[in-house]
Amino acid sequence: MSKRVCLLASAVMAVSSPSHAHELFGGTYVHDTSVPFKHGGPEDGIDVQLGWRGDRIGKTPLQPYAFLAVNTSGGTHYGAIGLSARFGKRFFIRPGLGIAAHTGSAADHFIADNDDIEFGSRILFEPEVGVGASLGARFSIEGSWLHLSHGQLFGRQNSGINNLGVRLTYRLR
């Protein structure tokens, strides 16, 4: 495993101490896939995602989260921290917004000339949205979309990627 993946894993584990964790989740995602507003890019494979979601912040619906995703084809690995909110009980929608760090190329594709995704920045925004259902008191399942890009805030280059997948959540208490 590369140094970058190890550092991302360490950061997620530091934030996700079991004594404070409210939910643990894991899932698989199709990496760099096509969506209606953007064609897929040069990377492929499946991302295996493991994460933590904390208790609600005060009386708000906001919950902090952290996760790590490893690409099975050796493409871009990434980790993210952010806030999400769950709206609904049995059936729900969960939007979220985070900041991600990745192991892919931070080069600008206007300069680089290769088949890598050129993200243009090491730090990216990580918006996501999930739609799910409770499977009892402790489990839920959700289909989700997540996107990684910098929205052209850090330069002209903004390739970004879209990942679609499913994750299972286990409530600790």
Residue pLDDT, tens place only, 6-20: 554 555 444 444 445
- Number of domains making up the chain: 1
Quote the domain boundaries for residue 154: 3-171
- The dihedral sign for the CA sequence 5, 6, 8, 13: positive
pLDDT digits (tens, 9 = 90+) for 120-165: 678 889 999 999 999 999 999 999 999 888 765 555 656 678 899 9
pLDDT digits (tens, 9 = 90+) for 57-102: 999 999 999 999 999 998 889 999 999 999 999 999 999 999 999 8
Q: Is the Cβ–Cβ distance between 88 and 105 less than 8 Å?
A: no
CATH number at residue 152: 2.40.160.20
Classified as helix, coil or strand, 86 is coil
DSSP label of 120: S
**Per-residue burial over 112-137, b = 16 or more CB atoms within 10 Å of its CB, e = otherwise:** eeeebbbbbbeebbbebbbebebeee
